Amino acid sequence: MINFYTSENGSLCQRDEPETGCWISVVDPTPEEVRELIEVYGLDSGFVKSSIDEEESSRIEREDDQTLIIIDTPVSAVDDDKTRNFYTMPMGIIITEEYVFTISIKETQIIKEAERGGIRNLRPSFKTRFVLQLLLRIAALFLTYLKQIDKISSAAEQELHDAMKNELLMQLLALEKSLVYFSTSLKANEGTIEKIFRGRVIKLYEEDQDLLEDVLIEMKQAIEMASIYTGILSSMMDGFSSVISNNLNMVMWRLTIVTILMQIPNIIFALYGINTVDLPVPYTWFPITLAVILTLIASVILNKWKKK
């Protein structure tokens, strides 16, 4: 799907045809639309293919009069088992002399917000500022999702204190994996933004310097938060692993005690059940009484041994 947007009075307006200085949003392009981007708009085929490749890492590249920025964007989704996952997906930004293109394999939160006017003062005609505003919103969205991860993990921790549930443990494992994805993508994004900061690939204007510094600060803050939350979640998982192991040991110990205590009556009754005349006190009440007394003595001894 290809949409065209221009700015009017500080807000974006969708157009039926592209205009010079407009933003061309491409989401989940069909093979025909990919050919159109290459043949009609003259985009570099390598740039277009890189933008729709899920395995592409964040980078910036320039070819002739076109500049490609691959940036990782955060995505939140809920699985069929109601486990919330967070991951990243690359988005390509291609800057040409006439247009700014954003190309992604699926619609992301960033694209939705931009198209609906959720990002203020977006002006595609000011290409550098437009790109920096998108990057700033991406960094802010990383921070938002990181805070959500912290809230979900804290809520799961409180519930796990009351009862160990597999669903909650799976949620924590999913969050831990999400933080690894976020940390990796954020560090790659930081390298890309630092290259932009040097001003060798994209022309920077004085009024854009502050905005670019804000982007870099937000990205570094997100990296720091991801690192902190990763450490907290990892320690939490280690702690719950120890608790689960300890609980398992307690259950096994109780089962062992029950098994030992149950064997005492079995041994006595089996002994008095054989055909022999030499058993002491050959009366029914004696083996029952003996079994009860020995079982009680064994339970007291095992109980004291457990406390030691």
In tens digits, what is the pLDDT along the chain, a chain of 308 residues?
888 888 877 677 778 787 888 888 888 888 888 888 888 888 888 888 888 888 888 888 888 788 888 888 888 887 766 777 888 888 888 888 888 888 888 888 888 888 777 777 778 778 888 888 888 888 888 889 889 888 888 887 777 666 666 677 777 788 888 888 888 888 888 888 888 877 667 777 777 777 888 888 888 888 888 888 888 887 777 777 777 777 777 778 788 888 888 888 888 777 777 766 666 766 777 778 888 888 888 888 777 776 55
What secondary structure does DSSP assign to 32-95, as a single string?
Answer: HHHHHHHHTS---HHHHHHHT-TTPPPEEEEETTEEEEEEEEEEEEE-TTS-EEEEEEEEEEEE
Q: How many CA atoms lie within 13 A of 64 on its CB side?
A: 7
Q: Which of these, 224, 211, 219, lies nearest to 119 by C-alpha position?
A: 211
Q: Both tokens of residue 195?
A: 């290259």
pTM of the entire predicted model: 0.75
